[in-house]
Structure 1
Amino acid sequence: MTAAAGSIAERVAAVRERIAGACARAGRNPASVRLVAVSKTFGPETVAEALAAGIHEFGENRVQEALAKVPAVAELAAQRGLPVPTWHLVGHLQTNKARAAAGAFAILHGIDSTRLLQVLDRAAAAPVRVLLEVNVAGEPSKFGFAPEDVAGAVALAQTLPHIEVAGLMTVAPRADDPEDVRPVFRRLAKLARGLGLPELSMGMTEDFEVAIEEGATMVRIGRAIFGERG
């Protein structure tokens, strides 16, 4: 599905309407779904426009890009009387960026190995909230734990003083029909429930409504808010 036409504010309103519709179908409160606007490659001015449109949480894929963008957005927010946003790392985290990421983001979505958990624990000065990335569909090109390895990773994390596992995250396979990936979201939700983990980061522009119907608590939306990337 392509991004909606119009201003960022109009796109945000359209996405929120779709979130509300999916929640209504699932018997959920729309407030139970956090909208994370994925702002990778878009500059501080564009992020500030989304902030003014009511988006409070933003996702970045690369640590280095975020390290420059976060203070620039904070400065614009202060100048314009806007709230300081919350930042999520939604992309793959390399171990050599662990220390920087631990200090720059409120939550890290793409934690995909026990080694990375251990590196983060050693690098962090304070507890870090993380989501474990699960490669539900077993795609060779994707990062993430195999579903059968998640319980062991959670058990390890519980021994690490600077790690708080808040939930699970996945990137579904690309599909022409979002219904085709519903089983992926359903399996992740079942896995999270079995482990007592409350947060589920799943669903992007193409499939977020199905993800919400299956229990997503965070959806990561880029194109439907910001438009196509150059």
Structure 2
Amino acid sequence: MSTELSAQAIVDNLAAVHQQIEQSAKRAGRDPAEITLVAVSKTKPMAAIEAAYAAGQRDFGENRLEELWEKVEAAQRLGLKEIRWHMIGTIQSRKTNLVMGPFALIHSVDRLKIAQRLSRDATAAECVLSVLLEVNVSGEESKHGFTAESVRACAAELFALPALQIKGLMTMAPFVAEAEETRPVFRALRQLRDELHEQQPSARLPHLSMGMTNDFP
């Protein structure tokens, strides 16, 4: 029996998620339009992406560069011209050249070496990459990312890299039973973003990527 969702189920789920986002934003005094829902499409077939696209979803996240590029090409063939692709997986240093492309945002710049290589490759390709710095706020050994201290220490170097536009920060909280337990991690990331903005006043850091796989099961 197939475990893939039907097109109607995808439509219904998207509507429910957007309703939750709107309610949460209003409780926090935020404009729901400021929040971007990235649908994680890794391992999902193009039929599911088509269904979500037909329902109005435009931002999709992939964690493997090879699969991402296959879907970029498939989406072009299918006429899904308004998709904004997000790279959410770890980028290996030997594969930074594969990130040169029409990506809305790269969420996983997890160390200075990767930032430097992306800058080098983007400069050579005469393109500009929009990226987020991945920060391991929780300190878990299983997580990738800068520490808060290392981001502060090399902020000037990071923001000076050519062909990179640092748009904000990303983190992954621990997988815990109670959602409230993740709030200190997310709060710490926002505070770090504010610190970096003070340290680098010319930098615009509008994005915080803090979505989790089990947010909307």
TM-score interval, smaller chain: 0.7 to 0.9
Q: TM-score, normalised by structure 2?
A: 0.88
2:161 and 2:97 map into 1 onto residues whose CA distance is 15
- Deviation per CA, 1:193-223, whole angstroms, max 9, x where unpaired? 121222100022534xxxxxxxxxxxxxxx6
* Structure 2 match to 1:21: 23
Q: State whether residues 105 and 130 of structure 2, in contact with CA within 8 Å, keep that contact through their aligned partners in structure 1.
A: yes
- Partner residue in 2 for 1:130: 131
**Could you give the per-residue CA deviations for residues 152-194 of structure 1, whole angstroms, max 9, x where no partner exists?**
3431122211111110000110010100110000000111112
For 2:109, the equivalent position in structure 1 comes to: 111
Amino acid at match of 2:115: L
Partner amino acid for 1:115? Answer: K
Q: Structure 1 residues 7-16 or 191-200, which shifts more?
A: 191-200
Q: Deviations over 1:115-141 (max 9, x none)?
A: 001111111121111100000000001
Within the alignment, does 1:93 sit opposite 2:88 as a pair? no
Show the counterpart of 2:60: 58
Cα distance in 2 between the residues matched to 1:164 and 1:154: 13
Q: Which whole-Å CA distance do the structure 2 matches of 1:111 and 1:56 have between them?
A: 23
Q: Extract unaligned runs of 5+ from structure 1.
A: 208-222, 225-230
Q: How does 1:32-43 map to 2 (within 5 A)?
A: 32-43=34-45
Residue aligning to 1:199? 207
The answer to whether the Cα contact below 8 Å between 2:171 and 2:209 also exists between their aligned partners in 1 is: yes
Asked which structure has the greater RCO (Cα within 8 Å, sep 6+), the reply is 1
Greater Cα shift, 30-39 or 124-133: 124-133
2-structure distance, mates of 1:194, 1:173:
23
In structure 2, C-alpha distance between the alignment counterparts of 1:107 and 1:13, rounded to whole Å: 24
Kept in 1: contact 2:75–2:81 (CA 8 A): no
Aligned partners of 1:155 and 1:162: how far apart in 2?
Answer: 15
Which residue number in structure 2 is paired with residue 152 of structure 1? Answer: 153
Structure 2 distance, partners of 1:45, 1:153, is 43
Distance of 1:145 and 1:27 partners within structure 2 = 30
Kindly provide the amino acid, as one letter, of the partner of residue 96 in structure 2: A
- Identical positions, percent: 45
Q: Which amino acid aligns with 2:169?
A: L
Match of 1:75 among 70, 74, 77: 77
- Aligned twin of 1:210: none
The two structures, once aligned, show a CA RMSD in angstroms of: 1.7
When the two structures are superposed, what TM-score results if normalisation uses the length of structure 1? 0.83
CA deviation string 1:95-131 (max 9, x = no partner) = 1111111224221101001000111111112111110
SS in 2 for 1:140: coil
Q: Distance in 2 between matches of 1:142 and 1:46?
A: 29
Q: Which runs of 5+ in 2 are unaligned?
A: 198-204
